[in-house]
């Protein structure tokens, strides 16, 4: 289940795909399902809110964000996860310039917090979002890949050796996961928190897809910590407006959780991290105060997943995912399939192997998959899925 990886050369999967497809013209007018960039409409309140706060572009924003931002996030978390123990907006919330930079910087914060460990380890899922590995590398940590067993979404840390756990400073996990779209149960979260606390490991929980789900809202890491009733230590959640509110270009998200971690991390971020401009924080206040645009967004994704079920059927290899907006399609060879879909159908997708590192036995768990980002509108998605089914049927 665990594999150490050394001398990693990180390459963006998108840059790798550009290289692989260079010189290959698309067989049909292109449809882009590679990048996870939502193409749904942006909410109506964005423009007027920025206009109302325009003068704030004339000031450097504070790294801790505005009072209104932190209060809104603390309230939203309280409602979303029915928290009994309130999130303290003063000590437990920070705005992020998109969750990507926060996920990257968090590894540096975790490293800083545990200076006594000489050869730190950061645990990563596999496949994983590239910022996790970039953060671990920048923190000078050894990367150890941990995969959950069977149907689980989160790994069971208790199965790792003492030698690994004693050196681990942080673990990155995602629920809903990207690309599989699986969702961690409350029990899985609680178990992870229990072991992480035993070894003083920071859980960096990427929950940026938390609002995009098929039927039931995914339980969250803060919800699990709340129900354990021992505070929010060792837990940090990451959320983003990119997916929830179709605002990938706004660059706004937040981190919330462990007040001790946030205190030290804020000192570091205050010297090096990008702040979030005031008018954009005001948009976030509006966005997190409204669920109607989020529900409409979710409904549109669900319509598209129903289309995928109808058009791709058994090819989905076990139905649509519980959360997120990707299909993780089993295929004989992900790279060959991506090239063929582009060359014959103009459909751009990502080979699953590009999102993984080889494990300790040299096996890349993503090679037999294709990631399809369901980010286009309904008609374009129908067209893309139909082209894909036609091409697969010809093989
Ligand atoms: C799993 C995951 N985490 C984090 C991010 C970062 O999103 P953003 O920086 O836009 O919040 C992405 C973006 O695609 C993602 O897929």
pTM of the model: 0.96
Ligand 1: which residue has its CA nearest to atom 14?
Answer: 36
* pLDDT bracket for residue 188 (50, 70, 90): very high
- Choosing from 33, 240, 248 the residue with most ligand 1 atoms within 8 A of its CB, the one to mutate for a pocket test is 240
10 against 97, higher pLDDT: 97
Instruction: Tell me the C-alpha distance between 256 and 91, whole Å.
Output: 9
Shortest-distance atom of ligand 1 to CA 178: 1
For 121, residues 6+ apart whose C-beta sits below 8 A from its C-beta are 141, 142, 143, 144, 164, 167, 168, 169
pLDDT digits (tens, 9 = 90+) for 140-171: 999 999 988 878 999 999 889 999 999 999 99
Size of the chain, expressed as the number of residues it contains: 395
Atom of ligand 1 nearest to the CA of 35: 14
Report CA(300)–ligand 1 centroid distance (Å).
Answer: 20
What pLDDT is attached to residue 282? 98
Q: Is a pLDDT exceeding 60 seen at residue 275? A: yes
Residue of 14, 243, 328, 373 to mutate, ligand 1, most atoms within 8 A of C-beta: 243
Q: For 27-53, what is the mean pLDDT?
A: 96
CA of 131 relative to ligand 1 center, distance in Å: 9
Say what angle helices 99-113 and 259-272 make with each other, to 10 degrees: 110
180 Cα–ligand 1 center, Å: 14
The residue whose CB lies within 8 Å of the most ligand 1 atoms, and thus the one to mutate among 34, 129, 372, is 129
**Strand 202-206 to 168-174 pairing:** parallel
Tens digit of pLDDT for each residue in 189-233? 999 999 999 999 999 999 999 999 999 999 999 999 999 999 999
Average pLDDT over residues 301-320: 94
Give the residue among 327, 332, 336 at the shortest CA–CA distance from 384. 327
Query: Which pLDDT belongs to residue 9?
Result: 67
Pick the closest to residue 135 from 224, 255, 220 (CA basis). 255
β partners of residue 4? 144
Tokens 């931002």 belong to residue? 69
Cis bond before residue 362 (omega within 30° of 0): no
What Rg value do the Cα atoms of the chain yield, rounded?
Answer: 21
Please give the backbone phi and psi of residue 124, each rounded to the nearest 5 degrees, phi first. Answer: -130, 145
Tell me which residue of 70, 75, 78, 76 sits closest to 226, measured CA to CA.
Answer: 78
Do the bridges between strand 369-373 and strand 93-96 make them parallel or antiparallel, or are there none, so unpaired? unpaired
100 CA to middle of ligand 1, Å? 6
State the pLDDT at residue 378: 96
Strand partners, 323: 213
What domains can you pick out in the chain, each with its CATH number? Answer: 2-41+293-394 (3.90.1150.10), 46-288 (3.40.640.10)
What gap in Å lies between CA 187 and CA 84, rounded to an integer?
A: 18
Ligand 1: centre distance to CA 391 (Å): 30
362-383 confidence digits (pLDDT tens): 899 999 999 999 999 999 999 9
List all residues whose CB is within 6 A of at least one atom of ligand 1. 36, 98-100, 103, 129, 174, 178, 206, 208, 240, 242, 248, 253
Q: Which atom of ligand 1 is nearest to the CA of 206?
A: 3
The structure tokens listed for 52 are 């109302």
Nearest atom in ligand 1 to 240's CA = 11
Task: Collapse the DSSP code of 123 into the 3-class scheme (helix H, G, I; strand E, B; otherwise coil) and give the result.
Answer: strand
End-to-end CA distance of the chain: 34
Note the pLDDT of residue 5.
56
What's the gap in Å between 99 CA and the centre of ligand 1?
A: 6
Average pLDDT value for residue range 235-250? 97
For ligand 1, atom 5: residue with the closest CA: 100
If you average pLDDT over residues 34-50, what whole number do you get?
A: 95
The ligand 1 atom nearest the CA atom of 37:
14
At residue 126, the pLDDT reads 94
Atom number in ligand 1 closest to CA 248: 10
Residue-level pLDDT at 155: 93
Cα(289) to ligand 1 centroid in Å equals: 21
Say if CB 210 and CB 223 are below 8 A apart. Answer: no
> 210: which 2 tokens?
């938390």
What pLDDT score does 360 carry?
Answer: 81
Q: What is the pLDDT of residue 316?
A: 93
What's the gap in Å between 329 CA and the centre of ligand 1? 20
Residue 178 CA to ligand 1 centre (angstroms):
9
For residue 128, how far is its CA from the centre of ligand 1 (angstroms)? 11
């Amino acid at each position: 289940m665990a594999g150490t990886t050394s001398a990693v050369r990180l390459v963006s999967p998108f840059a790798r795909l550009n290289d692989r497809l260079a010189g290959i013209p698309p067989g049909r007018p292109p449809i882009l399902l590679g990048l996870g960039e939502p193409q749904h409409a942006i909410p109506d309140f964005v423009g007027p809110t920025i206009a109302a706060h325009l003068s704030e572009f004339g000031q450097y924003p504070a790294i801790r964000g505005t009072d209104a931002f932190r209060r809104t996030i603390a309230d939203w978390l309280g409602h979303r996860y029915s928290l009994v123990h309130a999130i303290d907006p003063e000590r437990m919330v920070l705005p992020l310039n998109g969750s990507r930079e926060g996920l990257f910087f968090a590894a540096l914060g975790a490293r800083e917090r545990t200076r006594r460990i000489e050869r730190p380890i950061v645990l990563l899922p596999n496949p994983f979002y590239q910022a996790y590995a970039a953060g671990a590398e920048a923190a000078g940590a050894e990367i150890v890949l941990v995969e959950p067993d069977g149907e689980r979404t989160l790994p069971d840390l208790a199965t790792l050796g003492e030698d690994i756990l004693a050196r681990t400073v942080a673990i990155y996990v995602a629920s809903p996961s990207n690309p599989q779209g699986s969702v961690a149960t409350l029990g899985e979260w609680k178990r992870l928190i229990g072991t992480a606390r035993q070894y003083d490991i920071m859980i960096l929980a990427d929950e940026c897809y938390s609002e995009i789900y098929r039927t039931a809202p995914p339980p969250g890491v803060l919800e699990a910590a709340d129900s354990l009733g021992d505070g929010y230590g060792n837990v940090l959640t990451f959320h983003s407006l990119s997916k929830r509110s179709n605002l990938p270009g706004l660059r706004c998200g937040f981190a919330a959780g462990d007040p001790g971690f946030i205190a030290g991390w804020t000192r570091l971020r205050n010297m090096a991290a990008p702040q979030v401009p005031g008018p954009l924080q005001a948009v976030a206040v509006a966005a997190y105060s409204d669920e109607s645009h989020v529900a409409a967004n979710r409904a549109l994704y669900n319509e598209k997943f129903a289309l995928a079920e109808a058009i791709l059927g058994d090819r989905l290899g076990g139905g649509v995912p519980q959360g997120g907006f990707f299909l993780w399609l089993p295929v004989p060879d992900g790279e060959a399939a991506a090239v063929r879909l582009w060359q014959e159908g103009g459909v751009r997708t990502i080979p699953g192997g590009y999102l993984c590192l080889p494990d300790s036995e040299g096996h890349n768990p993503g090679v037999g998959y294709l990631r399809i980002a369901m980010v286009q509108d309904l008609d374009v998605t129908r067209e893309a899925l139909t082209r894909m089914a036609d091409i697969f049927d010809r093989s």
